[in-house]
Chain A
């Protein structure tokens, strides 16, 4: 009788033999399942006692057992109820579901690993992007108590003269001093960046932070040796040539000498006394870690003439604040807004201050947050689409597998397993996939973020301290995303499976047979969705690649090859404008004579990268100045247009003599001429750049409009003037391809002129590359995302076709046996498999056509609905999809029809 009970129990717990085995083997093996054993024994005892009683009353054993069972009711139903009544039933159930899920995934390793990899890839790109954004604009600064550190950004609007060096959020020295002395809500500290020449450093250059005396204590830095600055030492400009070394500089450049304090070093040819060394954890509040700290009152030595610190209308100081206890951000903002406005009164009375108080993070300037948001939104959309494709894949696989398990499910439901319980089991399985995918995805995302960061041009990133390591926010985000998506996409097939009327599944030998052959709408819809999204990603990638290609071939209206750009550290070497001009002119003359050189000129802006913007007026024929308008400005040397091959359309370019005597002449581009003068002759007219008191320049020539390749192309009319800012001058050397020879001649000439002067030489091709690097990165990222989407979508399609073919093996077998043409059959299977692809593709085309407009800025004139890109992408997608459908179809057709027929 015990035997009988056991048999019944086995059948009850799941008719699928494997399931029952799995349960009895696995669960019984575990000590934690003593509960189940006891429960079985208790219920068995009850039944046996009842049967004994019935037998004693004269029933035969078989009737007695039947009677006892009827009286007892559904054993499994009550067992389920009992399990629920147990203390910690939830935890126990969870453990059981997890074990079950793990075991069922282990039984289908291909399915499991495909699903996990799909989720991992989808999550990786998503978390990778979030990691990057977090590290750049959200992560708290690497300082003590970052929670109360705030960035204070003040911008100004209105009339009067105002300049900033760096971001528009920097304030001038008197403004900072005023705000700091008046603020009751926060302690304000000043920081600015500079680079210095020092023979003490390898490479001759040091990165410096110019700071108020409270900055280092404010960020929690401690002196490892000596001391930091005192309040007196940062009061009067130029009074305290003192320097604090960073720990790394002390270790690397000074051999960790204990007697370093008190030594003198020459920074920008000015003697400074070392007063201290900061501890190793002090890396500063900015993206770039400094080698040394100087009092910000020593700013003048970084720019001879002291043009910044003596100029109250020139912003160069970034404000870092430590909020005082009990103060809210809004109170702080309110106070600093008032103080900021007051600080402008003495020198900028016509301007209005806007103050923003942001959490202490690296690059969260309001401008970056505003301009970056749409870019980030597009990027986030793209990575989310990849995640969506991955999840649709997983949903499809779960659904296919679930359909294969319909009979098992039907039996379990009919035996009293609650649907909620089944749903939970399915979802546990999805959660396991999601968790494993999430963990792998987290690791991949780290690699992805690092890879992206590494592909940013080095020159912009020297000495950065961007921290990509995941903190709890990132880990929590990643796992939440992976679990949420896998649970959501797991619930779709799970709900569908348990919702169905299960009777047909029970009635047939193999449940799946009773379902209509091809029509699996949910699966088809998922494939269609994947196709649509993939097409969008691929089209955008294609457009970006075409845009990049276009940009590389674009006629810039000027020379973009075989030009060397030489720049000098004239400021650091304490040059002033006049000797700097003489030096550059002499170098120009010396290099122009050398073999291989076809032209030499000068410029201030870094060609194709740098830019200069100004407000200007033109002077009417009647002598009345026009309203101010925006222009791009360019200060250039003699023979610039010849050297850079910019066509002179009217009048003349600048001569060497124009530059030498500082002629008040201007050359405008065609866009300027047309916009300001229409058909009238601009030659002989005047343009007034900047302030009215600075005077007018006579227009002597009109040149062809050049087009930049930087992504941010605010198209403005351009005015060229003879170079005056020699301190920032660069030599442009056009050559015939003999780069090496020209470089060595140039270095020799510079060394002859001033042995201390550092010259850095790069080719204009490097600038082209740099200017295009955002496009290149975007194109590479889009291509990577598109290919990932393609692979995922194709593997999804493969799975669906393979699954539907496997369900029709018998039908296929019959058709083949009856002499159907295999080619026709293949065409039929593939055709039916591709139907959702075609539908999805059509939707995708519409979406892609709409989406292309979002990235227009990166396309360099390629149409967002470029027919070549669209056609090529659609063909590639169809080819890949056809391949994904043909492979499983061929496999099925290759089967011996007899095997297929017998497959029961």
Chain B
């Protein structure tokens, strides 16, 4: 697919002060984590991410959807149409077996990375 140099007419909104930039790849991980606790529709995933990260991450809400479709294509999540709490038709996402495995791997990788970075940052001059 050719790269797109899209012109975005709307400035990104930053609803939360001091929100952290999202590291590449972490959105997928957060989505997998969010639906690992039970099937959710897209808006529900957003709320869950806001909840579990304590609103610490800023993303344009729309960006969630390309990520969801990408995960669906990788068969890490499955979808079905259902009815939401307020009785509207909504598309629900749940984790597949592959998705569960990926979540585990990514979590381990992430923890190792965090540990490594943490150790590195804690290093004192005399230890080097």
Answer yes or no: B15 CB below 8 A from chain A CBs: yes
Answer yes or no: A740 CB below 8 A from chain B CBs: no
Which stretch (B19-27, B31-39, B86-94, B109-117) binds chain A?
B86-94
Residues of A in contact with B, size category = 35 or more
Answer yes or no: A421 CB below 8 A from chain B CBs: yes
Which residue from B7, B12, B84 sits with its C-beta under 8 Å from A73?
Answer: B12
Question: Shortest Cβ distance from A385 into chain B, in angstroms?
Answer: 34
Mind listing 20 A-B residue pairs with CB under 8 Å?
A42-B41, A43-B62, A45-B41, A45-B42, A45-B84, A45-B91, A49-B84, A71-B60, A73-B60, A74-B6, A77-B62, A78-B66, A81-B66, A85-B69, A85-B70, A85-B73, A414-B9, A415-B7, A417-B6, A418-B2
Contacts of B84 in A (CB 8 A): 45, 49
For the complex, give the distance between the alpha carbons of A413 and B7 in Å.
7
Answer yes or no: B121 CB below 8 A from chain A CBs: no
Which residue from A48, A71, A77 sits with its C-beta under 8 Å from B15?
Answer: A71
Contact between A420 and B12 (Cβ–Cβ < 8 Å)?
no
For the complex, give the distance between the alpha carbons of A419 and B4 in Å.
7
Given contact pairs A38-B91, A85-B66, A414-B9, A71 touches B61 in the complex (Cβ within 8 A)? yes
Given contact pairs A78-B62, A418-B2, A46 touches B43 in the complex (Cβ within 8 A)? yes
Question: Shortest Cβ distance from A541 into chain B, in angstroms?
Answer: 45
Contact between A418 and B42 (Cβ–Cβ < 8 Å)?
no
Contacts of B13 in A (CB 8 A): 70-71, 73
Answer yes or no: B10 CB below 8 A from chain A CBs: yes
For the complex, give the distance between the alpha carbons of A424 and B41 in Å.
34
Answer yes or no: B5 CB below 8 A from chain A CBs: yes
Contacts of A415 in B (CB 8 A): 7, 9
> Which of A46, A72, A75, A413 is the most central at the interface, judged by chain B CB atoms within 10 Å of its CB?
A46
Contacts of B60 in A (CB 8 A): 71-73
For the complex, give the distance between the alpha carbons of A315 and B52 in Å.
95
Q: Which 5 A-B pairs have the closest CB atoms?
A: A418-B4, A73-B60, A420-B2, A81-B66, A73-B62
Contacts of B86 in A (CB 8 A): 49, 52
Contacts of B10 in A (CB 8 A): 69-70, 73-74
Answer yes or no: B120 CB below 8 A from chain A CBs: no
Interface string of B96-112 (1 = CB under 8 A from A): 00000000000000000
For the complex, give the distance between the alpha carbons of A664 and B28 in Å.
105
Contacts of A69 in B (CB 8 A): 10
Contact between B43 and A50 (Cβ–Cβ < 8 Å)?
yes
Which stretch (A86-94, A340-348, A482-490, A591-599) binds chain B?
A86-94
For the complex, give the distance between the alpha carbons of A52 and B85 in Å.
13
Enumerate chain B interface residues (CB-CB to A < 8 A): 1-10, 12-13, 15, 41-43, 46, 60-63, 65-66, 69-70, 73, 84, 86, 88-91
Answer yes or no: A471 CB below 8 A from chain B CBs: no
For the complex, give the distance between the alpha carbons of A84 and B9 in Å.
20
For the complex, give the distance between the alpha carbons of A575 and B111 in Å.
107
Contacts of A73 in B (CB 8 A): 8, 10, 12-13, 60-63
Which residue from A41, A50, A52, A84 sits with its C-beta under 8 Å from B1?
Answer: A84
Contact between B4 and A420 (Cβ–Cβ < 8 Å)?
yes
Contacts of A220 in B (CB 8 A): none
Answer yes or no: A82 CB below 8 A from chain B CBs: yes
Interface string of A402-444 (1 = CB under 8 A from B): 0000000000011111111100100000000000000000000
Contact between A416 and B6 (Cβ–Cβ < 8 Å)?
yes
Contacts of A509 in B (CB 8 A): none
For the complex, give the distance between the alpha carbons of A77 and B70 in Å.
15
Smallest Cβ-Cβ distance to B67: which chain A residue: A85
Contact between B9 and A87 (Cβ–Cβ < 8 Å)?
no
Contacts of B90 in A (CB 8 A): 42, 45
Contact between B62 and A45 (Cβ–Cβ < 8 Å)?
no
For the complex, give the distance between the alpha carbons of A419 and B5 in Å.
7
Contacts of B89 in A (CB 8 A): 41, 45
Interface string of A62-80 (1 = CB under 8 A from B): 0000000111111101101
For the complex, give the distance between the alpha carbons of A71 and B10 in Å.
10
Contacts of A417 in B (CB 8 A): 6
Contact between A414 and B66 (Cβ–Cβ < 8 Å)?
no
Contacts of B43 in A (CB 8 A): 45-46, 49-50
Smallest Cβ-Cβ distance to A45: which chain B residue: B90
Contacts of B91 in A (CB 8 A): 38, 41-42, 45
Contacts of A75 in B (CB 8 A): 62
Which residue from A50, A78, A84, A421 sits with its C-beta under 8 Å from B65?
Answer: A78
Contacts of A49 in B (CB 8 A): 43, 84, 86, 88
Contacts of B5 in A (CB 8 A): 418-420
Contact between B3 and A82 (Cβ–Cβ < 8 Å)?
no
Contacts of A46 in B (CB 8 A): 42-43, 46, 61, 65
Other than the known A42-B90, A45-B43, what 14 A-B pairs have Cβ atoms closer than 8 Å?
A: A41-B89, A42-B42, A46-B43, A49-B43, A72-B62, A73-B12, A73-B13, A77-B6, A81-B4, A81-B66, A85-B69, A415-B7, A418-B2, A418-B6
For the complex, give the distance between the alpha carbons of A231 and B61 in Å.
88
Which residue from B3, B7, B15 sits with its C-beta under 8 Å from A416?
Answer: B7
Contact between B88 and A48 (Cβ–Cβ < 8 Å)?
yes
Per the 8 Å Cβ criterion, residues 831-856 of A in contact with B are none
Smallest Cβ-Cβ distance to B42: which chain A residue: A46
For the complex, give the distance between the alpha carbons of A47 and B99 in Å.
27
Contact between B8 and A77 (Cβ–Cβ < 8 Å)?
yes
For the complex, give the distance between the alpha carbons of A87 and B79 in Å.
15
Contacts of A84 in B (CB 8 A): 1, 4, 66
Smallest Cβ-Cβ distance to B81: which chain A residue: A38
Question: Shortest Cβ distance from A70 into chain B, in angstroms?
Answer: 4
Smallest Cβ-Cβ distance to B12: which chain A residue: A73
Given contact pairs A48-B88, A49-B84, A74-B62, A80 touches B4 in the complex (Cβ within 8 A)? yes
